[in-house]
């Protein structure tokens, strides 16, 4: 089944995707078979999409794409196919503009591979992923809590969640992504901190007075502007 389509329907109920994450010009990595651009009318802040697929070259490096080009980068079930997921993450983050968002979906190793590597269900999968475990059955397991740290001080984690909507944990082993409803994934959203914020150690709002209109919007209280 088409995992991106399942995710986009779920994301309609999560305001951050429509108002913060899928905003502006986006890059969809390995998304030709199930692109997020087909849902642009449901996420009206998307202004344009660039697909990157096999014909464009190695998705690990995104050769030819300049740094800080896109407002958001989306990669659904692509990271597990990369020769070096760490290198891929660095380049996917590289082409992201400061303030933009990297949105990742990867299969959860316990819900999808279910104890087998290579995967029984997709021979293209080189790696397995866990949100966080101190020990894994998979010799190719990547812990996402640790993995995202390679992105350094500019990585601002906005979401990191095991996605099991529609997944039935009590069933015998089989590929539940073949059903119309089950997701067996981990979703990660990483905002790219502007360099100045990374150097400062976080987001620091500038000092300055609020206008009467700002105060009213924030608190509902009317403040008279000072008379001249």
* Residue-level pLDDT at 66: 98
- Please write the tens of the pLDDT for every residue from 192-205: 999 988 998 987 78
DSSP 13-66: T-HHIIIIIS-EEEEEET-TTS-GGGGGGGSTTEEEEEEE-GGG--TTTTTTPP
CATH 3.20.20.70 fits 3-201, yes or no: no
Among residues 103, 78, 188, 183, which one has the least CA distance to residue 144? 188
* Residue-level pLDDT at 212: 85
Every domain of the chain and the residues it spans: 3-201
Percent of the chain with pLDDT over 90: 82
Give 223's pLDDT tier (boundaries 50, 70, 90): low
Q: Which helix (H) or strand (E) holds 160?
A: strand 155-163
Q: Which residues fall within 8 angstroms of residue 8, CB to CB, at 6 or more apart?
A: 36, 39, 42, 43
Among residues 179, 144, 142, which one has the least CA distance to residue 164? 179
Cβ(175)–Cβ(207) below 8 Å:
no
**Could you give phi then psi for residue 147, rounded to 5 degrees?**
-60, -45
* Residue-level pLDDT at 226: 57
- Please write the tens of the pLDDT for every residue from 4-37: 999 998 999 998 999 999 999 999 999 999 999 9
């Amino acid at each position: 089944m088409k995992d991106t389509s399942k995710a986009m329907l779920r994301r309609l109920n999560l305001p951050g995707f429509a108002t913060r994450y899928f905003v502006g010009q986006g890059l969809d990595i390995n998304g030709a078979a199930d692109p997020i651009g087909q849902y642009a009318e449901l996420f009206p802040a998307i202004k344009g999409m660039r697909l990157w697929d096999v014909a464009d070259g190695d998705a690990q490096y995104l050769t030819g794409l300049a740094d800080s080009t896109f407002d958001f980068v989306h990669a659904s079930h692509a990271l597990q196919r990369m020769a070096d997921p760490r290198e891929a993450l660095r380049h996917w983050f590289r082409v992201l503009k400061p303030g933009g968002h990297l949105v990742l979906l990867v299969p959860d190793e316990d819900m999808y591979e279910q104890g087998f590597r290579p995967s029984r269900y997709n021979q293209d999968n080189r790696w397995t992923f866990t949100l966080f475990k101190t020990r894994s059955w998979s010799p190719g397991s990547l812990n996402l809590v640790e993995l995202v740290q390679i992105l350094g001080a500019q990585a601002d984690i906005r979401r990191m969640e095991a996605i099991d909507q529609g997944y039935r944990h009590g069933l015998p082993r089989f590929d539940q992504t073949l059903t119309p409803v089950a997701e067996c994934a981990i979703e990660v959203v990483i905002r790219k901190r502007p360099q100045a914020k990374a150097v400062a150690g976080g987001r620091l709002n500038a000092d300055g007075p609020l206008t009467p209109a700002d105060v009213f919007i924030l608190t509902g209280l009317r403040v008279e502007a000072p008379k001249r």
